[in-house]
Structure 1
Amino acid sequence: MTIVPSARRASGQILIVLLGLLSMLGPFSNDTVLPNFPHIESHFGIGDVRMQQTLTLYFAPFAVMMLLHGTLSDAFGRRRIIVLGMAAYSAAAFVCATAQSFETLLLGRFLQGLSAGAGIVVGRAIVRDLYAGDAAQRALALLMIIFGIAPGVAPIIGGWIGHLFGWRAVFTFLTLLSAALCLLAFVCLPETLPPSRRTALSFGSIAKGFVQALRSARFVLLVCAFGFNFAGFFIYIVSAPVFGYRILGIEQTEFVWIFGPAIAGMIVGSYVSGQIAGRVNASGTVFIGYAFMAAAALFNVGYHVGHPAALPVSVLPIFVYTLGLGISMPSITVLVLDMMPERRGLASSMIGFAQSGFSAVLAGAVSHQVYENALTLALCSLVMGLLGFACWLGFLARLALRLRRARA
């Protein structure tokens, strides 16, 4: 991989692995908890609809803070924001682990949402600080491979911890994990944004950056494409307790049936993205990803129109969809970050906001409308993918228009 001259002190792939570990905290925040929903519901005497509030009150602040993590890192440096974010998350997870009421648990989840996104948002900016061109796509692909492991292993870990020690032990695990990541970041993470390249932190500066981003139709369409693409898969994450227990009939320790295909698809797709970087341009790579996502979503709907949910057929589309997602995401990420080279933290924040904002809507307003039926879940995934593809086509149309005007 080619590293830009201004950051030769970075430790190459070892640093990407570290960033990948830091980015895993977001998925771990939910995916370790999901298999334990029935036990938390029973403990506090609540229903599954109210239990969804633990997702909504996590994703809402998560989405808002996505807008600030990157912006703050543009002003104060990358390393400081990650270290503080991990420390704050550890305290929030401890609140959840010791909660004596459901309201306190919701408070802890809210605080987790405020801090969990620092790793992935700032991590993307660090990658683009260090790498340029095809090397950036390869580095982001490696980051996505590591990040993609989390949705697969987290529910297995969470399911077994909850099975053996109870649901509070899951949050204790998250407390210790984030504390370890905080220490690791403090000791090992280099600073990739020197003071000379930082932006002043003021309301005017922040507002100017967001206005600049939102005034670009190409930027907004590309960010929305990223968010909708991810939402087509994420509807299965937020619906996992009902989809797993009621529709597929799996046990608490068998959530690998849902998350296993997801992790495999994301890893394989990200690997393919890294391998074809430099051979296939970004646009071609994204179209390849959409081909897989479309095939998965259409098969998913077609099968469940005439058949009840069954293993393994009902989870095969998850593998194929995330395969396409893994192929397309690194290229889309590089395109977004390159549109704002002086504010990569802010650009990464916008990616995260779209991803987590759509996730919050899915968790709070959509999932309980569709999660009781495999067909409605499949249709929701198809609609999200189609919206993402429409945004991608809109981006290409705006880009072509801009190029024609430049030649005129």
Structure 2
Amino acid sequence: MPATKILFSLLVLGTVLGLAGTDLVLPAIPSLPASLTGTIEQSQLVIATFVAGTAIGLLIFGELGARYDQRLLMLLALIAYGLLSLLATQVDSLSELISVRFFQGLSCSAPAVFAPGIIKSIFDERGALRAIGLMGSIESLTPALAPILGTWLLSMASWKSSFYLTAILAFTIAFIWAMMFSRIPKLKSKSNQQGYGSLLLNREFMVHSLSHACTLGGLLIFVFGAPTVIIRSMGGDLSDFVTMQIIGISLFIVSANCTHWFVEKLGRDNVILFGSLLTAAGCFSVFLYGLSSYNNPKALWLLFVPINLGLGLRGPPGFHRAVVAAGENDARGAAVLILAILATAAIGTAISAAFIEEGLTPLACVAFLFALSSPLILLLFKSHLSQHALK
């Protein structure tokens, strides 16, 4: 149905726009002190405050989405994101930009919170798995392509150009969303009194959320530390990291868009477990390579393959399973799930940062321990989950 495809496209564009809020601005960060009053340390906060705003926004919109019409909240958030993007172009100092960026990050978190519930309402289970896989594939391209676009915009105009582009896109999505308003399912939780506490007591939701967060967190921990390790410890350059990412993202896209076939053949829980084990095995292979006497960064191109294949296989059914387990509390559920992913990646990155000068081995070790936690969590609670499996 054309309306369904348009609605799904809007959800994808909305979530991608939120992700691009960091990566699109990233190339301009080093030059901001020369354009605005402030220091290089403050320019780093332009990114940090956006991420902090996003994290808080996840919880706020998770709560609001459980109480009010998500269609209207989505529209208002997109308009706010566009207005704040325009406001960012009018600041005179980095301190002012930092303040705007916090609220910009807060407003951009709405699509990520509402998209899973809306997708669940407009597709059957098979269609939802395919939709989430496709969304994840497109989103995975954002960290790779957005900085390139941001660099081009910076060279053609100024640091303000990325904010103008963000504003135009946000207003465009909001306009189309408003035009389709009556065709969008009206979603609002019927369990308003449950709150976030009910999710923490929902064992099935917590098991699948933590398992998903550990798998994705393991990958992110490695990716966040890889550039430093490749350049400072392995004698490589940024092109080695870029090549590794291109290979990894390509294979993630392939496996994520085939996962519905594997689910039909092998069963959802088996695919989730296998994907988790594959990612953990990939991280372990990198750890073993770090222990060896070899130090060629190009070896990571191959070793990174199973990590991405595993995430691609378990990503769509794992994410969908966690949101379904939240029941009618899916807005809060999506918020908690995404927040768990951010927290896992942040904690693991902070731990590995203390040993980053030691090279590949400690980074891979931290990533492996987090990735291994994912299948262990599933196996530990397997008997409980099998009794409550969703048909």
TM-score clears 0.5: yes
1:125 offset after TM fit, Å? 0.7
What residue is the counterpart of 1:126 in the other structure? 118
Pick the aligned partner of 2:92 from 84, 96, 100. 100
CA deviation string 1:284-333 (max 9, x = no partner): 11123123312321222222334676553334444432322121121112
Q: Is residue 170 of structure 1 aligned with residue 162 of structure 2?
A: yes
What residue is the counterpart of 1:198 in the other structure? 188
Q: How does 1:274-289 map to 2 (within 5 A)?
A: 274-289=260-275
Distance 1:369 1:13 in 2: 46
Asked if 2 retains the 8 angstrom alpha-carbon contact of 1:301 and 1:379, the reply is yes
Secondary structure of residue in 1 paired with 2:238: coil
Q: Is residue 214 of structure 1 aligned with residue 208 of structure 2?
A: no
Across the two proteins, how many residue pairs are aligned to each other? 384
Q: How does 1:6-85 map to 2 (within 5 A)?
A: 11-40=3-32, 44-47=38-41, 53-85=45-77
Pick the aligned partner of 2:276 from 290, 296, 308. 290
What residue is the counterpart of 1:160 in the other structure? 152
1:64 offset after TM fit, Å? 2.5
Instruction: Name stretches of at least 5 consecutive residues in structure 1 with no aligned partner.
Output: 1-8
1:381 offset after TM fit, Å? 1.9
Distance 2:250 2:332 in 1: 30
1:62 offset after TM fit, Å? 1.6
1:128 offset after TM fit, Å? 0.7
What residue is the counterpart of 1:137 in the other structure? 129
Asked if 2 retains the 8 angstrom alpha-carbon contact of 1:151 and 1:262, the reply is no
1:114 offset after TM fit, Å? 0.6
Equivalent position amino acid for 1:12 in 2: T
What residue is the counterpart of 2:177 in the other structure? 185
Secondary structure of residue in 2 paired with 1:343: helix
Structure-2 change in CA distance of 1:20 and 1:98 (3 Å)? same
Distance 1:162 1:369 in 2: 33
CA deviation string 1:229-266 (max 9, x = no partner): 22222235555775687664338xx9743642343133
Equivalent position amino acid for 2:52 in 1: A
Asked if 2 retains the 8 angstrom alpha-carbon contact of 1:78 and 1:193, the reply is no
Secondary structure of residue in 2 paired with 1:11: helix
CA deviation string 1:316-357 (max 9, x = no partner): 444432322121121112212222332222222221221233
What residue is the counterpart of 1:340 in the other structure? 326
Structure-2 change in CA distance of 1:25 and 1:176 (3 Å)? same
Secondary structure of residue in 2 paired with 1:75: coil
1:206 offset after TM fit, Å? 4.6
Q: Is residue 249 of structure 1 aligned with residue 237 of structure 2?
A: yes
1:67 offset after TM fit, Å? 2.3
Asked if 1 retains the 8 angstrom alpha-carbon contact of 2:277 and 2:375, the reply is no
Asked if 1 retains the 8 angstrom alpha-carbon contact of 2:278 and 2:307, the reply is yes
Q: Is residue 331 of structure 1 aligned with residue 317 of structure 2?
A: yes
1:366 offset after TM fit, Å? 4.4
Asked if 1 retains the 8 angstrom alpha-carbon contact of 2:227 and 2:238, the reply is no
Give TM-score scaled by structure 2 length. Answer: 0.84
Distance 1:182 1:362 in 2: 36
Pick the aligned partner of 2:247 from 242, 261, 276. 261
Distance 2:295 2:150 in 1: 25
Please give the root-mean-square deviation of Cα atoms over the aligned residues, in Å: 3.2
Distance 1:309 1:42 in 2: 39
Q: Is residue 224 of structure 1 aligned with residue 224 of structure 2?
A: no
Distance 1:320 1:98 in 2: 46
Moved more, 205-214 or 82-91: 205-214
Equivalent position amino acid for 2:279 in 1: M
Distance 1:22 1:158 in 2: 18
Structure-2 change in CA distance of 1:108 and 1:313 (3 Å)? farther
Distance 1:35 1:258 in 2: 20
Distance 1:124 1:173 in 2: 26
Asked if 2 retains the 8 angstrom alpha-carbon contact of 1:65 and 1:117, the reply is yes
